[in-house]
Structure 1
Amino acid sequence: MASDSDPRPLEIGDVDRAARVFARAFAWHEPWGDWAMPDPSDREERIYARFRSDLLERFIPFGECWTIDAGTATTMWIPPAVPQLASRRSEADYASYGAVAGEMRAGDALIASLKPETAHWYLDTIATDPDLHGRGLGGRLLDHDLAIRDAAGHACALDTHTPENIGFYERRGFEVIGSGPLGEGIDVYMMYRPSQSRP
């Protein structure tokens, strides 16, 4: 019998908690939050609203999301060739970034140019409740997801703007295949992992 500590597909009832975890992680524990939303007064709520909308309107219907403990750790995946997830942000999303909207648009174009041309599953986002960092939840969830990709013979890619996270992904078979400036004071690193399936 499965328990809350076992990875399972994210459900509608998990969305609020998962979006809150993403908001806390990206607002205060990642360089992206400081860069994309310099005003801290409403940063967490804006990120929460974005992830809640993305989960409900895009990733649950068209992508693949997995979770441990009903949103404590969550992954958001983009399958190959899904047109509903081809655009990273809507025009309204870009407008909401105000002074950094131009950098955000250019950064997304850079990320698109760095993606591998071969078919792959894309890890759009992974986050763990900041209060539970160091317990291995994110690693266990990602290992679970990668085992599914390997079983199907699929390659994977992701981007990170946190250099300290590169080793976490390298230990799971990813390699940096490109990088560039995402904006002032922040770089992006594209990582790729061929399928680890065995004949």
Structure 2
Amino acid sequence: MGVAIRTADERDRELVVRLLDGAFQDDPVSGWVFPDPAHRRATHPRLMAAFLDIVLAEGRVDLAEDGSACALWLSVPADAHPEGHEEDVQGDEGDDAVQLREAVDPDNERVELIARLTAEIHPAGQAHAYLWMIAVAQDSQGRGLGAALLRHALDRCDREGVAAYLEASSARSSKLYERLGFDHLDRPLDLPDGPRMWPMWRKPQA
């Protein structure tokens, strides 16, 4: 499928936040972080905006030219974790997980916990591209936009000889990633009293 893709910037912030919010409102992990639907509708956009701001500052956002889909990527060096997913968060008031909770939903410990748990399973020791989030507008799903966005970035990874990593938030999405060359890592992450996440890794391909 031919999809025109460009790199988003600050001018696209409102559009991308809407895309992320619409795509992840009913996601199992978002439902776990914000169990109450009314609270989720009100607060979830702030979490998506916080994630986006990190990637706009430190990574790259691939955006379908028509605004129907986006993918958020961070470039992770071999000796570090991506911003917001540090290995050494230990509860200090200044750490990123705490700051995320305070900025998004101060009384919600799960905002902080999701950052810590994903940090714990994030692979270290090899440089890679981290697919933090990918979103397709509901009225554009089923057209192959997500796969097209992924192939766009994975082709670049292959040219540069860089691995890719992600955490799938549903068994259905993990099947798509498998078709694109991702393999499951170790064991899945079972959120406390919540859904399962699947860490996945893709070696660069010739």
Fold agreement, TM-score > 0.5? yes
Structure 1 SS opposite 2:67? coil
Structure-2 change in CA distance of 1:16 and 1:104 (3 Å):
closer
1:114 aligns with 2:136: no
Whether the 8 Å contact between 1:24 and 1:130 is mirrored in structure 2 is: yes
| TM-score, with structure 1 as normaliser | 0.84
Q: Distance in 2 between matches of 1:72 and 1:83?
A: 32
Could you tell which deviates more after superposition, 125-134 or 11-20?
11-20
Please point out which of 47, 51, 72 is paired with 2:48.
Answer: 51
Structure 2 SS opposite 1:41? helix
Q: Displacement of 1:107 after TM fit?
A: 4.0
Q: Displacement of 1:104 after TM fit?
A: 4.8
Could you tell which deviates more after superposition, 19-28 or 76-85?
76-85
- Amino acid aligned to 2:69: A
1:71 aligns with 2:67: yes
Q: Displacement of 1:83 after TM fit?
A: 6.9
Structure 1 SS opposite 2:142? coil
Unpaired segments of 5 or more residues in structure 2?
A: 86-95
Structure 1 SS opposite 2:44? helix
CA RMSD, 1 decimal: 2.3
- Amino acid aligned to 1:111: T
| TM-score, with structure 2 as normaliser | 0.82
Q: Distance in 1 between matches of 2:70 and 2:118?
A: 22
Could you tell which deviates more after superposition, 132-141 or 103-112?
103-112
Structure-2 change in CA distance of 1:193 and 1:84 (3 Å):
closer
Structure-2 change in CA distance of 1:134 and 1:97 (3 Å):
farther
Could you tell which deviates more after superposition, 38-47 or 172-181?
38-47
Structure 1 SS opposite 2:117? helix
Q: Distance in 2 between matches of 1:92 and 1:111?
A: 16
- Amino acid aligned to 1:152: E
Structure 1 SS opposite 2:63? strand
Q: Distance in 2 between matches of 1:27 and 1:86?
A: 23
Whether the 8 Å contact between 1:154 and 1:194 is mirrored in structure 2 is: yes
Indicate the residue corresponding to 2:132 in structure 1: 124
